[in-house]
Amino acid sequence: MDCKREKEPDAECEKITAVLLKSRTGEFDLESILFLKLRGLGVHELGCIGECVNLERLDLSLNNVTNLGPLASLRLLSVLNLSANRISNIEPLRSCENLQNLNLAGNIISSTESLHCLLSLKKLENIRLRDNTYNYSNPVCRSASYRAVVLEMFPNIKVLDGERVVGRGSELYQLCKDIDETIKAGSYKNGQLIERPDCKPWVEEGYWEIKRSNNAIIEEAYKQFNDVLHECRLLNNRATHVISQTEKSMSLKKQPKQYAI
């Protein structure tokens, strides 16, 4: 797993407690909490999080979690972000029967056999084990057959590692992927990566900034939007470089040959 563990400005807390949950949500009862963001707090133990039985969306990214046992009681959970932790066993997620969106990128899941416990989750449609935007991965992703095996295991999922595989838009995702691979191929010469020229931004700085909100749904949408923007910027930089190299090559071919007399 290659990832930098950035921390939120909040004080670190190794174990999740009722006091922590109530202070971050403003709720008096744990059962009243529907959305919860505990990103980058240095959490090692999930503590009493299992008491939030009505929780629907949970962000535990950028922590040090290893044991997912307390999540087994969260049967209403639909969106779960566990990216950038130290997880190798996801067996407790078998009980999260309402799970639809699961992010496990940046952990230590070693084989596709570890994913078998998710087969009973009929609503699961989005799985992420690798996130190229943040250089998050899992050991299982190193296998050449990884993607094919996962798609065979989960024939009903719509999105794998951020790429739509079925449904509306899947053709566009595949086209963008093909273009990206073509650009990558053009970024190398004699096996060496060609240095890319600096590119000026399309718009003024701050143009794409969005006012933040405490609403967890909006926060998640904001994160996904910024991820897409980041990927678009990377793609644009590569495309600009390839176009420049192609123009130079065509210009050289058009120059008349000179012969020594």
- Could you give the CA distance from residue 213 to residue 118 in angstroms, rounded to a whole number? 32
Indicate whether 158 belongs to any domain: yes
Within 26-168, where are the H helices?
Answer: 146-153
Task: Among 144, 166, 188, identify where a domain stops.
Answer: 166
Indicate whether 261 belongs to any domain: no
Same domain, 117 and 50: yes
- With a pLDDT cut of 70, the percent of the chain lying above it is 71
Same domain, 136 and 185: no
Same domain, 79 and 195: no
Same domain, 240 and 123: no
Indicate whether 260 belongs to any domain: no
Same domain, 248 and 209: yes
pLDDT at 58: 97
Q: Name the helix (H) or strand (E) containing 81.
A: strand 79-81
The token pair at 50 is: 């299992």
Better-scored residue on pLDDT, 230 or 91: 91
User: Is the backbone of residue 59 left (phi > 0), alpha (psi -120 to 50) or beta?
Assistant: beta
Q: What is the mean pLDDT of residues 76-88?
A: 97
* Interval 32-42: pLDDT, tens: 999 999 999 99
The answer to whether the beta carbons of residues 33 and 25 sit under 8 Å apart is yes
Indicate whether 104 belongs to any domain: yes
Same domain, 54 and 89: yes
* Interval 13-64: pLDDT, tens: 889 999 999 999 999 999 999 999 999 999 999 999 999 999 999 999 999 9
Taking the alpha carbons at both ends of the chain, their separation in whole angstroms is 62
Range in 12-16, 170-174, 178-182, 184-188 the model is least confident about: 170-174
Q: Taking the mean position of all CA atoms in its chain, how far away is CA 209?
A: 20
Q: What is the mean pLDDT of residues 167-176?
A: 57
- In this predicted structure, the answer to whether residue 258 has a pLDDT above a threshold of 60 is no
* Interval 145-166: pLDDT, tens: 999 999 999 998 999 999 888 7
* Interval 202-219: pLDDT, tens: 667 766 665 555 555 566
pLDDT at 7: 52
Task: Among 110, 137, 166, identify where a domain stops.
Answer: 166
Task: Give the structural domain span for 85.
Answer: 1-166
Same domain, 100 and 203: no
- Could you give the CA distance from residue 15 to residue 112 in angstroms, rounded to a whole number? 30
Same domain, 29 and 110: yes
Domain harbouring 37, CATH code: 3.80.10.10
Same domain, 222 and 147: no
Task: Among 97, 132, 166, identify where a domain stops.
Answer: 166
Same domain, 133 and 73: yes
Domain count across the chain: 2
Better-scored residue on pLDDT, 201 or 102: 102
Same domain, 198 and 122: no
Same domain, 51 and 106: yes
- In this predicted structure, the answer to whether residue 172 has a pLDDT above a threshold of 70 is no
